[in-house]
Structures are given as C-alpha cells and as structure tokens.
Structure 1
C-alpha cells in the first residue's frame, strides 16, 4: 500500500510540474491563448450568476484542506470569481469565501489534533511533509502563530498544511479559531481585490508575464541566498539525517 502511495504522490508531483511549465510556456509565448481563456471564464462566471457564491465557498474550502489544498487552484479561481462577479457583489463573495476558508482550515486543524503525528510519521514523506518539516513549522507556529496562520493562507503549498500542523502541535483551539477567522477574512478580501485589479488590467499583465516571472524569480533567489542560506543548510542537514535514520543503508 505504501509503495502505491509513493508512486501516486510522485506521479501527482510530476504532473503538477509539467502542467505548471506548460502553462508558463503558453503565458510567455502564446499570451493570446491566456487572454481567450480569461475572457471565456468571464463569460461563464457571468452566466452562472449567484452560483458563483457556491464556487467561492467551495474553492476556498477545498484549497484549505490538507494535501488537496496544495493541488486545487482555489486562489486562481477566487481571483477570477472576485474579478468578474465580486466586482459587483464584493461583500457577499467575500463572506462566502471567508466561511469556506474558515471551515476548511478548521477541518485541517481538527484532523491534525486527532491524528497529526501518526499521519505525518507514516505518510508525510509522500506529500513532502516529514518530521523535519513538521518541526520547522511547529517552531514557526509557536514563535509567530498569528502571522504564520494569517499569512500562510497566501502560500501555494503551506496553506494546506499549516492548520494541520497547528492541530498536531497542540495550538489552543480558541487561539486557532481567532487567527483562522482573521486570516480567512483578510485572505478573502485581498484575493477579491486582486481579482478586481487583475481583470481590469489582465491584458497588460499577460503581455508582460515573462518579465514579471523573471523579476519574481530573481527576487526569490536573491532573498534565499542573502538571508536564508544558513536556514536552508540546516534544513538540508536535518532532512538528510532524518532520511538516513528512516532508511538506513544496507551496505
């Protein structure tokens, strides 16, 4: 069973990388395709009408769930819904998205509280969250719990695991619910406003996507090199030690 899970997790990650690269290639070299897709989505969202509230709720809920949330493009969906539908019905859209995010986060917290350590020990490596990652995230949550949970909603991968780790690490339910509510409302409001801006300017953004990606890549690499070298080295050493203990050499 574990071998099957390993293969499935690797396959999903490979597909995710391939799809991301294909979309990036299309965005850079075939921007008109992206513009057409956005316009098509805009027409669809307008046609769906009030059903967009359910889409906002469901996408916010799904992207907050452990593992699933790192694969579901909930934030992208919310940007489009927020831009095309929330532009006119912004308050209602924010409310539905906030409630969906809160419930998804709480499910992750509850799951982590009940089964967190066992799940991470037995299956965490299959989704890239092993004991080493758990310890790092628990330290960050203990040190900067409020900011980690609030800002973690905007991280493409961590958003799906932070509530789970908070539950596994024993964060008090009252504190989690407070941080969760504030973070979900801030996230829903921000994403809707980003959607509003994106839809009004998407042609210029798509036309310059290559430059935008290049600038972001340089900034991220520069930040990691200048400020996170020691942390990355420590993480790599800890991860290597964990893997050596878990899978000792047979030589």
Structure 2
C-alpha cells in the first residue's frame, strides 16, 4: 500500500497533507482501515518535508496528523459504543476480522485505559482499540484524554523522526526502500501480539467480555 501512496506524496505538493490526514483518519476510525500504512506514511511525509518535496512546515504536518488521529479515534469509539456489541458478535467477513477484534480486546483488558495510548503505536491494534473502549463504555472524557495523549506522541514522534532522518543523504536518496523497510518493521509488534494471542488461545479459550470496568 505504501508503494501506491508514495507517488501521490511526491506529486501532490502541499495537498499531500490532506491525503495523509485521510489515511490516518481511516486507519484510526474505520474498522476497515487496519491495513493502511500509518507509520511508514508519516515517516515518509516527514522525510519529504525535510527534502522540500512537500512544501509545508513540519509543525503543520504534525498538527494535521494529530487532528486526524484524534478525530478518527473518536469515530472508532462511537462506532464501538453504538454498534459494537452487534458488530463484535458477528462472524468474520471480508471487511471485519473477529480475530483482530479479539486481540484488541485482550490488549485493552491487559493494559486498561492506557491501552488507548499504547495501541497508537501498534499497527492493527490501534484500529480496533477505540471501538473496544466504546464497547466497554469507557467514560468519554477519560477516553478523549488518553486519545489525545497517544495521538500527540505518535504524530509528533514519527513525523519528527522522518523529518530528522529524512535529511540524511543516504536515506533521502533511498526513501522508498527505507519506508518499505519501516513498513516491514511496523508489523512486528502486531505479529508478536498475534502469536502470543494464539498461544494463549491454545492454552485456555479466551472469553470476550463487553462489560469492561475502567
């Protein structure tokens, strides 16, 4: 997916910000957006700002990503709050993986409210945790607080990393290869969580609860 988005970032100029925000929103707020390359896209965007391919100040890129991430998580929370019980009880479909939802549920149960912050840095999990928080009726104010904290750290951290390292000639000359490598690295936490979840499932069948106390 990052290979398809890269040419657009090179050609859109300042309007690339809208594309980045749309991807971040979809990955954060729409359950079908779990396959989108949020981490690698932000790193690439930061690098392209550093190389003046995208003519925007870095703070504006980070602010746009922050807004899209916060709003996306709020939408995901509302989806879980209003439609979650029905959605999470339906069998697998082409656009919804019950397995992904179960992993997010266990992640949330293990880490509590701080999972909203931690999940922001874990691909796939970050798509489903807001909905899980909504299903569990986590207080809206508390969710919003942790949502803002996680989105701020994620957006500023990864965009800044791209901006700083993207200015290095070796990386600037091979941005596409570097972001593909980053995309590969970004799936490692999700893979580890998946393997652990499968092992726990074999050891003892997991029971998914919707009455989470937070």
Find the counterpart in structure 2 of residue 171 from structure 1: 138
TM-score, normalising length: structure 1: 0.62
Question: 1:193-241, CA deviations, whole angstroms, 9 ceiling, x for partnerless residues?
Answer: 221244234257948x99xx79x97x999x89xxx97x753332344x7
TM-score, normalising length: structure 2: 0.71
Q: 1:60 to 1:131 in 2, by over 3 A?
A: closer
How far apart are the structure 1 equivalents of 2:154 and 2:198? 28
Find the counterpart in structure 1 of residue 125 from structure 2: 158
Find the counterpart in structure 2 of residue 237 from structure 1: 203
| 1:97 paired to 2:61 | no
| Bigger Cα Rg | 1
Question: 1:83-137, CA deviations, whole angstroms, 9 ceiling, x for partnerless residues?
Answer: 1126761111111110001111111100101111221111457514378546513
Q: 1:133 to 1:197 in 2, by over 3 A?
A: same
Map 1:42-121; keep pairs closer than 5 Å: 45=9, 47-85=11-49, 89-121=57-89
Any gaps of 5 or more consecutive residues in structure 1? Answer: 1-18, 24-33, 243-251
How far apart are the structure 2 equivalents of 1:149 and 1:86? 30
| 1:184 paired to 2:157 | no
Partner of residue 129 from structure 1, selected from 92, 96, 99 = 99
How far apart are the structure 1 equivalents of 2:190 and 2:45? 28
Counting matched residue pairs gives 192
How far apart are the structure 1 equivalents of 2:148 and 2:17? 19
CA contact (8 A) 1:109 1:165 kept: yes
Tell me which protein shows more helix as a share of its residues.
1
Q: 1:113 to 1:70 in 2, by over 3 A?
A: same
Query: What RMSD over aligned residues (CA atoms) do the two structures have, in Å?
Result: 3.8
Q: 1:165 to 1:198 in 2, by over 3 A?
A: same
How far apart are the structure 1 equivalents of 2:136 and 2:111? 9
How far apart are the structure 2 equivalents of 1:204 and 1:121? 45
1:68 is displaced (CA, Å) by 2.2
How far apart are the structure 2 equivalents of 1:81 and 1:234? 38
Question: 1:132-178, CA deviations, whole angstroms, 9 ceiling, x for partnerless residues?
Answer: 54651341243xx22x2112112111011010111111111001000
Find the counterpart in structure 1 of residue 212 from structure 2: none
Any gaps of 5 or more consecutive residues in structure 2? Answer: 208-214
